[in-house]
């Protein structure tokens, strides 16, 4: 068991649980666990610990953990922040294997709290005792009857769904709210993890465990995420991939979508947790469903909880009202479902049974005629359900004493004899309380029922889309580093040496970027070349004679550029001369550039002068890499010019990229039409761009001291004619970690 | 009373109501009205009409309308579609003033039904008897105790809000659903109009009435719209403006947002109802709130129903949990609310009362400490409420037996002593039924309570935005047509004459555009000039000598273009020659163009050759006009090139435009940054563009046979340097209606 894949058994199936700071008051956080363990029937030993009591609820109460006679697998800690470290140290001495710390007042409370949390982390590392929290609501494993939490019990008791779900939450409140809202609908959770400040174990540890759990009673995992900690990024990435490959459905709420939310989240969790856009890209990449909020997550869990996953997006709407039909048609298309055209036979049969003024297309409008003929609803559904063009059914109807018995009985038969996903948008004709028995009867046979027609359609549409994407998923191929890496490293080393012989002995970090240094176009393009990424033909020269020779070798129209890793914007300081032809012009350009650079205040060290072919115009792309603190290298691309600058039309993917990732990121761009040949242009060579994205992904992973890379522009020519990097720029951690 | 502003008194305050086809079965559509009139206590005369009965509910039942002894103000008709026309004719003979027709099977049911509906319309026009329906649920006026509807009664009886609302619905189902959902929250409707197929009276007639009603008990009007009929477009426009000017809040659900929804809506209402984008623009223009659905409309009505409209967007969030605080912060920013920074004093006071690990910024996180100290909630709200930087408060808290008495009492005091809008997002700690009394107590003092944290924030944010926009609203100035119109008409007439002398005797409509003809660049620009819209300097010539003279007059770099209203794309057929200098080159260009056009198959009639100044490059804008069947002339604009072609980045406004409209439509463009001087360019002359938009709006209204106008490009120069139309094109109804 390594640090990242710890033994979680003390948390999941402890033989004994000690409650430190146990209280007799069952409405207080440290009173609830004992009460709940008894209520749920925990089969192991329970040890309340509190010097103020002799016993609680008939259990002998110990003055401290070390006076407990037997072994303790799990300690639940609800003492004050000031006492927490002492208590944890005692636990470690006792040989406790796992601890859940409820207490608040650590990293979320400022500097002093952060120090205290650091101390807890160190204690965990030194002692091997794993810790959940602090500042958490704790964990619950219903199957194993573990309630190491001050979460309240489920308020609702009727289970209607085939599946349960697991929930991991970085907010106790949200976790509890979610499982209560789901339970109210008859959908329960199996395991619940509130991870709090994640001093030691975090959300990714439990996600990794659930993703791999083979005896899971559920393949639905939901998470509430404020931000993954830097230390847990890699584990989160692999756990998400693992869940996808094992056909587990992973749905997340990720807050911090806006600047205000990010600010609030970082004051809540006090961690460096990366950019929301990167999360969003990663979720898409790994077919995780991002729910905008709890209002959308619960419907999603309900529909998934039936175990009927959409086979496609083709959806039929059957409504007892025209207005409902129109609204549902709108929502279906809005959320990506296809309001498919029925088979002729379906329409014919509908026409046979429905009044002449009903609509028999899709959506089907039964009209107010159902007020006098309630079984029109059932008959229509029965016809549409058989249509092979229909993957999913959305039913919209009112219910009351007049139609309930007939409708419920027929719907039940129909639902149980079908395997298509269906949802019912159901409006009571009587007061809510009076309608509840009808709704409950419908739920009882498994059909998910809703009282709104927005979030449920979002959920169905999103699920259908996700299943389609998950079925087609192609994982990235893991390629062992090879000669590309070796060669690129040789270039890098040579570059460090050349820099040292240049002017300074040590490359100095760019101002304000301690430990990170910029690298010039020439060396960046050499490294790109090692990875097979096409760059302009060019020669770095150090003399007028060299410049002249380069001109002869390259021929044609040439650009002449000053090369220095300390020049950020070559053009602005006059460091680029274009359209030079022949050795004479290029020689002059060389001299001119040397003079220009030399005349600058505090002239930057020149690495040489680059003589470079000039390329014909093409579609200009920007491809880059940024290292995210959580996700590692992120590859980004966008169309040059206004698309990136004004519309921020950029697509991101976390490395490693698969070919599918690269294709999807291009398709995601608003400007994708430009590549496809909009405005009378020829379609661009997308295949070449995809290939470059894959190579950039590999480079970014293998050159692990690359912090940032910018290829701008990449000239993309018409299909079959390739793409070439014209300029590039990079930022690195100091050579071979010497400066890191 | 004209046709558009009819006397609605027979519907709103009838002295007598006849129910045609009355049934004893109170669960059938034609049984409900009598039952409800008795239930609600209608003070006038009630006449059931049905040959099958002698009496219903103690009321003598008449065999037909004409046997009723007294006058009948309003007839409610629930007979079959086949009988409807006969029955209506009898009503007209009887002198009935208004009729509500429930029956389905008219325009929504195909051709035969459409004919029948047409006949109903004619009957209404000929007899003067006004009609609501067919295919509707009818109308309700609670204050006047009129229930001419088969809508079910309100299911809920407790009213908690200061205000009521009126509801006009093009769907019976949606109308009922909305008022039931609102009633469940303690918010009632005053008047309810289900307008069905709108054979005679439509949604705009009732909107117009409500907009002007001065004794209204409510200034909240909600509508469900599938599409406004062509005939009612002008009335709808003026009613919306009227409502805005009289400070009435108008909130609409408009379906048909997607192609699937539009298709479903048109099969439901069978009417030509214009493009959704135009509705959307008009709603924005008249500060109407467009709710995406019923789930958002009801929260909006609840918040508005308190009578506390947001004074601004500055909002404070106070939450008893960190997760809730973060989520609400996200939602606030997402929906346009500002999570304002508190005054220092506010933070200081919060720090004083809250535990050290709580967050005292905005959002305020009280932490789980409220479990032991419930009054932290009230104390914090009380501090924040006093902060002058805060316009609105969003409260997020759990409620249960432990804190309910204290929380409710203190909240009530605080709410009633404040005039700031507040909303409570409230989570029960106990089962829903058990929590209802607490929720009801909170509602009872007027604080709107929600069990979700998405739609309610949408509603608050949207309302705050709407109020800000409504306060700043500047109505368009109505300008009487003047010399611009006279001069433009002279040009048009001269053009028709010139066309006749040209080659054909009658201008022939462009193919497939019966009655509509295209107009050439030259005449369009002459008309633009009449309205003071700057166009290129140019001369239309008919000879080589004329061309040479024009070249001398204009000087400089010139474009030479073939002018014919039958050439749609001049450039494609070689009809434009650029960069000609001096009389000789222009003369040659003239000859070349005449030859080129003459050599075409079926050569188009040439109106002349245009010699035109060439302008320096600038930001290129497209401005156009399209005549919408409902809204009349719609002005549109967008940035030329990819913005319009690939991103469809176009802003629309319905004429007449105010200066504010013109400014807002520019600001709405995604490409607005380009005008502001992105990418190192100078800011463009927006003032000149605004002026042109205003003039185009006026032109479009005054030249009422203009169907379509396209100015592309309009060259916009840096601030202070103006904008000039380079090319233009138009489509008109035949000259002076000769061809219309």
- Distance in angstroms (rounded) separating the CA atoms of residues A318 and A396: 6
Identify the pLDDT of residue A262: 82
Give the DSSP H or E segment for B723.
Answer: strand B723-725
For the segment B493-549, what is each residue's pLDDT rounded down to a tens digit? Answer: 888 887 766 544 344 444 444 577 888 899 999 999 999 999 999 999 999 999 999
Partner-chain contact A329 B645, CB within 8 Å: no
Select B537-613's CATH number: 3.40.50.300, 3.30.365.10, 3.30.460.10, 3.30.1490.20: 3.30.1490.20
Partner-chain contact A327 B27, CB within 8 Å: no
Q: Look up residue A499 and give its two tokens.
A: 């820099």
- Distance in angstroms (rounded) separating the CA atoms of residues A353 and B7: 42
Partner-chain contact A113 B357, CB within 8 Å: yes
Q: Is domain A311-471 given the CATH code 3.40.50.261 in the classification?
A: yes
Identify the pLDDT of residue B350: 97
Sequence-distant (6+) residues with CB within 8 A of B377 are B318, B320, B366, B370, B395, B397, B403, B407
Give the helix ranges, DSSP H, for A398-543: 404-416, 432-444, 455-471, 483-502, 521-530
- Distance in angstroms (rounded) separating the CA atoms of residues B23 and B396: 50
A574 to chain B, closest Cα gap in Å: 17
Identify the pLDDT of residue B505: 38
For an interface test with B, the pick among A196, A260, A265 (most B C-beta atoms closer than 10 Å) comes out as A260
**pLDDT over threshold 60, residue B316:** yes
**pLDDT-derived band of residue A502, with 50, 70 and 90 as boundaries?**
low
Instruction: Count the neighbouring beta carbons within 10 Å of the beta carbon of residue B285.
Output: 25
Is the pLDDT higher at A228 or at B567? A228
CATH fold for the domain made of B319-471: Rossmann fold (3.40.50)
Sequence-distant (6+) residues with CB within 8 A of B390 are B314, B315, B316, B340, B342, B384, B420
What residues in B contact A171, CB-CB < 8 Å?
321-324, 326
CA distances from B734 to A29, A562, B495, B704, B738 (A): 82, 66, 12, 11, 6
For the segment A248-274, what is each residue's pLDDT rounded down to a tens digit? Answer: 999 999 998 888 888 887 766 555 557
The per-residue pLDDT of chain A, averaged, comes to 91
Sequence-distant (6+) residues with CB within 8 A of A689 are A621, A623, A637, A662, A666, A675, A714, A716, A723
Partner-chain contact B321 A172, CB within 8 Å: yes
Task: Identify the top-confidence range among A119-133, A725-739, B16-30, B511-525.
Answer: A119-133
- Distance in angstroms (rounded) separating the CA atoms of residues A495 and B142: 85
Superfamily of domain covering B1-137: NAD(P)-binding Rossmann-like Domain (3.40.50.720)
Is the pLDDT higher at B640 or at A240? A240
For an interface test with B, the pick among A177, A184, A330 (most B C-beta atoms closer than 10 Å) comes out as A330
DSSP code at position B107: G
Q: What does pTM read for this prediction?
A: 0.94
Per CATH, A481-534+616-740 and A537-614 having the same topology is answered no
B556 to chain A, closest Cα gap in Å: 30
Which among A27, A258, A267 has CB closest to B361?
A267
Instruction: Count the neighbouring beta carbons within 10 Å of the beta carbon of residue B14.
Output: 24
Give the DSSP H or E segment for B610.
Answer: strand B608-613
CA dihedral B59, B64, B69, B70 (to 10 degrees): 90
Identify the pLDDT of residue A738: 40
CATH code of domain A1-138: 3.40.50.720
For the segment B116-154, what is each residue's pLDDT rounded down to a tens digit? Answer: 999 999 999 999 999 999 999 999 999 999 999 999 888
Output helix, strand, coil percentages for chain B, rounded to the nearest 5.
Answer: 40, 20, 40
A622 to chain B, closest Cα gap in Å: 16
For the segment A421-447, what is each residue's pLDDT rounded down to a tens digit? Answer: 999 999 988 888 889 999 999 999 999
Partner-chain contact A224 B673, CB within 8 Å: no
Which among B261, B453, B679 has CB closest to A329?
B261
For the segment A135-193, what is each residue's pLDDT rounded down to a tens digit? Answer: 999 999 999 999 999 998 888 888 888 889 999 999 998 899 999 999 999 999 999 99
- Distance in angstroms (rounded) separating the CA atoms of residues A475 and A285: 10
CATH code of domain A481-534+616-740: 3.30.470.20
- Distance in angstroms (rounded) separating the CA atoms of residues B79 and A408: 31
For the segment A67-84, what is each residue's pLDDT rounded down to a tens digit? Answer: 999 999 999 999 999 999
**pLDDT-derived band of residue B552, with 50, 70 and 90 as boundaries?**
very high
Sequence-distant (6+) residues with CB within 8 A of B512 are none
CA distances from A514 to A511, A625, A729, A740 (A): 7, 19, 18, 9
Domain ranges of chain A: 1-138, 154-307, 311-471, 481-534+616-740, 537-614
Residue pairs spanning A and B at CB distance below 8 A? 260
Burial annotation A186-219 (CB, 10 A radius, 16+ → b, else e): bbbbbbbbbbbbbbbbbbbbbbbbbbebeebebb
B171 to chain A, closest Cα gap in Å: 5
- Distance in angstroms (rounded) separating the CA atoms of residues B493 and B205: 38
The CATH class for the domain spanning A537-614 reads alpha beta
Partner-chain contact A264 B363, CB within 8 Å: yes
Partner-chain contact A323 B431, CB within 8 Å: no
Instruction: Count the neighbouring beta carbons within 10 Å of the beta carbon of residue B529.
Output: 16
Partner-chain contact A255 B326, CB within 8 Å: yes
Q: Look up residue A640 and give its two tokens.
A: 């040059």
Please report, rounded to a whole number, the percentage of residues in chain B having pLDDT higher than 70.
95
Identify the pLDDT of residue B27: 80
Give phi and psi for A97, each to the nearest 5. -90, -30
What residues in B contact A361, CB-CB < 8 Å?
267
Would you mind telling me the total number of residues written for chain B in this entry? Answer: 740
CATH code of domain A154-307: 3.40.50.261
CATH code of domain B619-737: 3.30.470.20
Partner-chain contact B679 A104, CB within 8 Å: no
- Distance in angstroms (rounded) separating the CA atoms of residues B321 and B332: 16
For the segment B347-361, what is each residue's pLDDT rounded down to a tens digit? Answer: 999 999 999 888 899
Partner-chain contact A29 B184, CB within 8 Å: no
Instruction: Count the neighbouring beta carbons within 10 Å of the beta carbon of residue B500.
Output: 13
CA-based nearest residue to B19, from B47, B60, B43, B58: B47
DSSP code at position A669: S
Which among B156, B175, B673 has CB closest to A646?
B673
What residues in A contact B30, CB-CB < 8 Å?
none
What residues in B contact A350, CB-CB < 8 Å?
none
CB B46 within 8 A of CB B59: yes
CA distances from B96 to B20, B118, B202, B224 (A): 12, 20, 19, 29
Partner-chain contact B327 A261, CB within 8 Å: yes
**pLDDT over threshold 80, residue B683:** yes
What residues in B contact A428, CB-CB < 8 Å?
155
- Distance in angstroms (rounded) separating the CA atoms of residues B59 and B66: 17
Q: Where are the beta strands (DSSP E) in B27-73?
A: 45-49, 55-56, 59-60
* Residue in A closest to B266 by C-alpha: A326
* Residue in A closest to B364 by C-alpha: A264
């Amino acid at each position: 068991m390594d640090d990242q894949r710890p033994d979680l058994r003390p948390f999941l199936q402890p033989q004994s649980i000690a409650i430190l700071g146990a209280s007799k008051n069952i409405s207080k956080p440290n009173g609830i666990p004992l009460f709940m363990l008894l209520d749920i029937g925990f089969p192991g030993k329970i040890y309340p610990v509190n010097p103020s009591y002799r016993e609680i609820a008939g259990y002998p109460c110990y003055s401290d953990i070390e006076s407990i006679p037997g072994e303790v697998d799990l300690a639940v800690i609800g003492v004050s922040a000031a006492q927490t470290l002492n208590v944890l140290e005692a636990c470690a001495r006792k040989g406790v294997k796992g601890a859940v710390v409820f207490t608040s007042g650590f990293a979320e409370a400022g500097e002093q709290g952060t120090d205290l949390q650091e101390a807890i982390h160190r204690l965990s590392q030194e002692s091997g005792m794993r810790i959940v929290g602090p500042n958490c609501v704790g964990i619950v494993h219903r199957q194993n009857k573990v309630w190491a939490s001050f979460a309240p019990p489920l308020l609702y008791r009727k289970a209607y769904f085939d599946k349960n779900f697991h929930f991991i939450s970085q907010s106790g409140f949200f976790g509890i709210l979610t499982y209560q809202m789901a339970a109210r609908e008859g959908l329960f959770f199996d395991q619940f993890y509130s991870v709090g400040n994640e001093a030691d174990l975090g959300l990714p540890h439990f996600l990794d465990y659930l993703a791999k759990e083979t005896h899971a009673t559920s393949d639905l995992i939901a998470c509430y995420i404020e931000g993954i900690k830097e230390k847990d990024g890699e584990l989160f990435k692999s756990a998400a991939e693992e869940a996808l490959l094992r056909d587990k459905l992973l749905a997340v709420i990720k807050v911090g979508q806006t600047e205000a939310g990010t600010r609030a989240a970082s004051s809540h969790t006090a961690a460096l947790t990366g950019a929301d856009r990167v999360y969003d890209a990663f979720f898409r990449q790994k077919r995780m469903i991002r729910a905008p909020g709890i209002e959308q997550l619960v419907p999603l869990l309900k529909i998934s909880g039936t175990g009927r996953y959409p086979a496609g997006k083709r959806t039929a709407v059957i409504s007892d009202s025209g207005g409902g039909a129109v609204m549902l048609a709108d929502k279906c298309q809005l959320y990506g479902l296809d309001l498919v055209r029925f088979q002729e036979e379906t329409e014919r049969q509908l026409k046979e049974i429905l009044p002449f003024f009903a609509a028999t297309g899709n959506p089907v409008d039964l009209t107010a005629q159902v007020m006098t003929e309630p079984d029109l609803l059932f008959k229509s559904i029965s016809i549409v359900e058989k249509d092979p063009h229909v993957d999913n059914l959305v039913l919209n109807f009112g219910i009351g004493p007049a139609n309930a018995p007939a409708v419920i009985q027929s719907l039940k038969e129909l639902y149980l004899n079908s395997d298509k996903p269906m949802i019912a948008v159901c409006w009571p004709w009587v007061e809510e309380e009076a309608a509840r028995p009808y709704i409950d009867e419908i739920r009882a046979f498994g059909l998910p029922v809703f009282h709104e027609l927005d979030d449920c359609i979002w959920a169905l549409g999103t699920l259908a889309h996700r299943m389609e994407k998950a079925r087609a998923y192609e994982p990235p191929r893991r390629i062992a580093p090879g000669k590309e890496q070796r060669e690129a490293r040789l270039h890098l080393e040579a570059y460090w040496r050349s820099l040292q012989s240049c002017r300074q002995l040590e490359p100095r970090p760019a101002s304000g970027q301690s430990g990170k240094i910029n690298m010039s176009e020439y060396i960046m393009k050499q490294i790109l070349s090692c990875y097979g990424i096409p760059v302009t033909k060019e020669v770095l020269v150090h003399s007028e004679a060299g410049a002249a020779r380069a001109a002869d070798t390259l021929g044609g129209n040439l650009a002449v550029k000053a090369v220095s890793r300390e020049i950020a914007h070559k053009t602005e300081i006059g460091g680029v001369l274009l359209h030079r032809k022949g050795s004479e012009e290029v020689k002059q350009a060389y001299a001119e550039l040397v003079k220009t650079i030399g005349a600058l205040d505090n002239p930057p060290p020149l690495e040489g002068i680059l003589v470079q072919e000039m390329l014909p115009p093409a579609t200009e792309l920007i491809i880059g890499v940024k290292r995210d603190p959580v996700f590692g290298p992120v590859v980004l691309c966008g169309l040059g010019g206004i698309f990136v600058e004004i519309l921020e039309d950029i697509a991101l993917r976390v490395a490693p990229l698969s070919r599918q990732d690269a294709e999807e990121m291009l398709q995601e761009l608003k400007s994708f039409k430009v590549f496809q040949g909009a405005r009378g242009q020829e379609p661009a060579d997308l295949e070449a761009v995809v290939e470059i994205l894959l190579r950039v992904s590999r480079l970014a992973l293998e050159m692990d001291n690359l912090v940032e890379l910018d290829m701008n522009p990449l000239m993309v020519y018409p299909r079959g004619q390739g793409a070439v990097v014209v300029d590039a720029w990079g930022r690195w951690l100091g050579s071979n970690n010497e400066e890191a």
